[in-house]
Structure 1
Amino acid sequence: METLYRSTRETASHTMTSSQAVLQGLTPDGGLFVPVDLPQANFDFDKLATMSYQGVAYEVLKLFFTDYTEAELKACITAAYGNQFDDVAIAPVAKHGQAYYLELFHGPTIAFKDLALQILPHLMTTAAKKNHLDAEVVILTATSGDTGKAAMAGFADVDQTRIIVFYPQDGVSAIQKQQMVTQVGDNTYVIAINGNFDDAQTKVKELLNDQDLRTQLAANEFQFSSANSINIGRLFPQVAYYVYTYAQLIKQGHLKNGDEINFSVPTGNFGDILAGYYAKKLGTPIHKLICASNRNNVLTDFFNTGVYNKNREFHLTSSPSMDILVSSNLERLVFYLTGEDPVQTAGLMNDLTTTGQYTLTPAMRQQIVDFWAGFATEGQDQAEIHHVFNEHHYTIDPHTAVASAVAHQYQDATKDMRPLVVVSTASPYKFPRAVLKAITASDVTVDGLTAVDQLHDIIKTTIPATVENLRTAPVRHDRTSEPDQMAAAIQDILNLK
């Protein structure tokens, strides 16, 4: 059965194929693409337990990308999940104490975004050929630290593409920044903005739907798309690792087929945990998806009160990839909570734009049964890194620590002791100063590669190649911009006339 896509804000009469939606990125009305009908899966988890990550990924992705042939989809998967990952399992599951850790940091940029952004360029270039697109695709991306590097690593020197990344000048770790500004590839561009991630993301979404700019692009044979998780080519590959995790726990003897599990997910833009929601809808026996936030706890309040309110102080934390107050992917969940009502969804999103908040109806709140939400302070985050290292000799990054700390909150509050998977989204070497400070329980003044070396002296694990390479990598990108000048920066890069 073909899976077609519609907007969260428009009637289902206007639909696109999966390859068309991958190329488009964002819907013309400013909404997000969702399947007209959720695909139906009949997973045999005992069989999936015998498969490689690539095999499981195909079983999942063939449900969402139905206008790709089997050969096309398998070629994309093979290219995406190969020796650029330092573990043949791609997304291994490790047990430490009573928790399982889904390690999503074994890719080329040591963050979970690699699991989607290694395959997106292949999905996109295949889609361009299928749809006879002659225009050069310009990828616009806002990043809170990880998406930018992972997207550029995937798209670097890919024919008929350019990628422009905007990141908050003071809102990423030293290693994240160094990874981005040293990125190679003649088609990659990095711009620091004088603002936060929400400023960048809001402007990118606005530019993607700027009709005058799109006309100017078309006249110069360019077309916009996005590598953020608003793009289905970024979102749905993430579903695969939830299904794969469940199958691997069966293989390892920790679960019997049909046993329910919980996932605790460090959450900012809501794409990662939304992928878990889709995995559950496909039949993966997930009991609860624990939405773990840092001090920017707008999602915690949303799930606990039914009010989404971005009118609050923005905090810069040691888990910067979660320093977000406007979670774009939440719109997809809201769409389902309305009973797939595009008019009501559009109204709520308009309320967010005009007033900075919206409120769910009582009926909508009753539909939130798959999620539990909590947040961790900076102190709790640091304490969790310290505890896990001391108790289990296992090092976790600040985002993973947020998920781990909130997982404990969930278990204490509910007494639910089902098997629990903490989604580990980044290597500790990506945030060495914060991890070093937590483990040593002392003030740390060093940062960047000096902090990496000091952390390595303590934890003794191999420093990833992407970090080692920074020692000699020259800075290639030094552009800066005000948020309201982002369009001008794009026009300059593309030499638009």
Structure 2
Amino acid sequence: MYYVSTRNKQDRCTAAQAIARGLAADGGLMTPEVFPKLSPNGLNTMRDMSYQQRAVFIMNSYLDDFTSFELSTYASKAYGGNKFDAKEVAPVRQVDPSTYCLELWHGPTCAFKDMALQMLPHLLTASLKKNQESKTVCILVATSGDTGKAALEGFRDVDRTRILVFYPKDGVSAIQELQMNTQEGGNVGVCSVVGNFDDAQTGVKKLFSDEILREQLAEREVFLSSANSINWGRVLPQIVYYVSAYCDLLRDEKIQKGDPINVCVPTGNFGNILAAYYAKEMGVPIHKLICASNSNNVLTDFIRTGQYDRNRTFYNTMSPSMDILISSNLERMLFALCEHDDSQVREYMSQLNATGMYKVGPNIQTKLSKIFAAGYCDDAQTQKVIGRMWKEHSYLIDPHTAVAFDVLDQYRQESGDATPTVVVSTASPFKFCDSVLGALGVTELAEGTAILDQLSELTGVPVPAPLAALKNKNVRFQNTVSKEHMVDKVLEMLS
């Protein structure tokens, strides 16, 4: 299987090359030329498999330059060895007769990014060997909160890699920031950026296209790659958990073979819900993809109107991982909707860069509306949902998951669609203790890591071990730069 740039179909490469590069030279995103289809009995075949076995089954069809033995080894290392505190890795919990929650936060950093970023280091280091690459890879990451810690943990002390994470100053939760700034490892770096996530993400993309920087790094035997979801090696492992969730519902006889489900995903950069779309393309009977946004509702407006417009007020919300106005992975979705017309994608991206907006034609808008529904939820409503879920179901959720539950309620009321729905839960509530405690009526909050115990004592829910361990860690990183000086931080780290 070959991978092509969304902006130039002539730029073709193997899976190993696509994963190592991270981003196409023209700024496009590497995407499969064709998507494999599950066999008619594929879902039944996987119903009694472990999560690790399902990962190999799915990823094998995309990675024909990797052997099944290699992928089995990587899956065992990524998802085994007590790295996840749930045997199922990504368990599906029933909330009510027609609603299920796919819990993706049982990994080492308590967020869904672990599902991909425990696998990506194995794929990337193997790709370097397959490409006979002798240089060291410097992985640049822009994070709105969870990707940073998950990438740091995944690549910590991995041979021939350096990793530098940029996050928006004052734009992540206190626990998220502490997770990153206490990160251990000799090859890691962390730096906050003045501005919001879009500033950090745009800054990282500019570094990839900086010819002078590329030459300077080449002299040092270093090249750049990415652990953001612009890298295909990040998106691919995310497809697995949607297939796995359907197989779990089959296995537990909650649905029958061929029954449709809906999937509701809280998303900012569009990577998580894009993976659900790819699972649908492979043959998983997903009826509707419900895109849930917070007050930064650029995706809601796009799905409803076909116009993408980032020229709007940016809000810092209690669901910071979704505080994004430039949704990078939407470019891959456009590529699919345009039937791989790279010239059309280039035009949209050019308009976005020049004016901050673009509008798709009626044909694409029709396709979009058929596949997706969308809604958004502000902070006040988010808090109400957290409180209601705890009161009615004794189920503790984080703000991002609350956004998804609220948007699902909106969709059901508007559409009357009673299809069984999987809500994607993206982070542990303990990563956002202040917001969750506020939603449960607490007005006086403990300071520092003591807030973890405060939430646990109130609810009886234990603090996840990786977050409890923060109490004894020293802060290593306290640097802040402007987006114009991010390049200096890269060169400093590699000096």
Q: Give the TM-score normalised by structure 1.
A: 0.97
1:318-333 matches, cutoff 5 A: 318-333=318-333
In the TM superposition, 1:54-453 aligns within 5 A as: 54-82=52-80, 83-98=82-97, 99-368=99-368, 369-440=370-441, 442-446=442-446, 448-453=448-453
Task: Tell me, in whole angstroms, the C-alpha distance in 2 between the residues paired with 1:39 and 1:192.
Answer: 40
CA deviation string 1:66-113 (max 9, x = no partner): 111112111111110111111110000011224200000000000000
| Cα RMSD (Å) | 1.0
Matched, 1:454 2:454: yes
Amino acid of the structure 1 residue aligned with 2:26: D
List 4+ stretches of structure 1 deviating above 2 A.
442-448
Q: How far 1:493 moved relative to its partner?
A: 1.0
| Offset at residue 40 of structure 1 (A) | 2.6
Structure 2 distance, partners of 1:95, 1:393, is: 12
Q: Secondary structure at the match of 1:184?
A: coil
Distance 1:439 1:392 in 2: 14
Deviation at 1:208, TM superposition (A): 1.1
Contact 2:115 2:238 in 1 (8 A): yes
Does the 8 Å contact 2:452/2:468 carry over to 1? no
1:91–1:241 Cα contact (<8 Å) kept = yes
Q: Is the 8 A contact 1:280 1:286 kept in 2?
A: yes
**SS of the residue 1:15 aligns to:** strand
Give the letter aligned to residue 66 of structure 1. D
Deviation of the 1:444 alpha carbon: 4.5
SS of the aligned residue for 2:242 comes to helix
Check if 1:20 corresponds to 2:21: no
1:65 Cα deviation (Å)?
Answer: 1.3
Structure 1 stretches lacking a partner, 5+ long:
none
> For residues 69 and 112 of structure 1, what CA distance do their matches in structure 2 show?
26
Q: Deviations over 1:354-390 (max 9, x none)?
A: 1000001111111112110000111111111111100
Secondary structure of the corresponding residue to residue 367 of structure 1: helix
After TM superposition, give the deviation of residue 216 of structure 1 in Å: 1.4
Q: Which amino acid aligns with 2:5?
A: S
Q: Deviations over 1:12-65 (max 9, x none)?
A: 332100010000000000000111122232152222111000111111101111
Aligned residues of 2:401 and 2:425 also touching (Cα < 8 A): yes
The amino acid of 1:185's aligned partner reads: G
Question: Counterparts of 2:462 and 2:456 in 1: how far apart (Å)?
Answer: 8
Contact 1:436 1:444 in 2 (8 A): no
- Deviation of 1:448 (Å): 4.0
CA displacement, residues 306-355 of structure 1 (integer Å, 9 cap, x when unaligned)? 11000000000000000000000000001112221111101100111110
- Say if 1:267 and 1:292, in contact at 8 Å, map to a contact too: yes
Unaligned runs of 5+ in 2: none
Identity %: 49
Q: Secondary structure at the match of 2:13?
A: coil
Partner of 2:467: 467
Secondary structure of the 1:291 match is strand
In structure 2, how many angstroms separate the alpha carbons of the residues matched to 1:445 and 1:106? 25
SS at match of 2:374: strand
Letter in 1 for 2:21: Q
Matched length: 491
Which residue identity is paired with 1:352?
L
One-letter amino acid matched to 2:149: K
* Cα distance in 2, alignment partners of residues 46 and 59 from structure 1: 12
Partners of 2:444 and 2:420 lie apart in 1 by 35
Secondary structure, aligned partner of 2:223:
strand
| Residues 290 and 407 in structure 1, CA contact (< 8 A), matched pair in contact too | yes
1:449, 1:471 within 8 Å by CA — same for their partners in 2? yes
Amino acid at match of 1:244: S
Q: Does 1:29 align with 2:26?
A: yes
Which moves more between the two structures, 276-285 or 94-103?
94-103
Distance 2:222 2:2 in 1: 25
Displacement after TM superposition at 1:488 (Å): 1.0
Cα distance in structure 1, aligned partners of 2:10 and 2:426: 38
Q: Does the 8 Å CA contact 1:376/1:405 hold for their aligned counterparts?
A: yes
Kindly provide the CA deviation profile for residues 451-486 of structure 1, in whole angstroms up to 9, marking residues without a partner as x. Answer: 212111121112111111111100011111101100
Matched position secondary structure for 1:101:
strand
Whole-Å separation in 1 of the counterparts to 2:347 and 2:129: 36
Counterpart of 1:44, as a letter, is G
Normalising to structure 2: TM-score of the pair? Answer: 0.98
Question: Once the 2 structures are TM-superposed, how far is the Cα of residue 447 of structure 1 from its aligned partner?
Answer: 5.1
Determine the C-alpha separation between the residues in 1 that align with 2:141 and 2:413.
Answer: 38
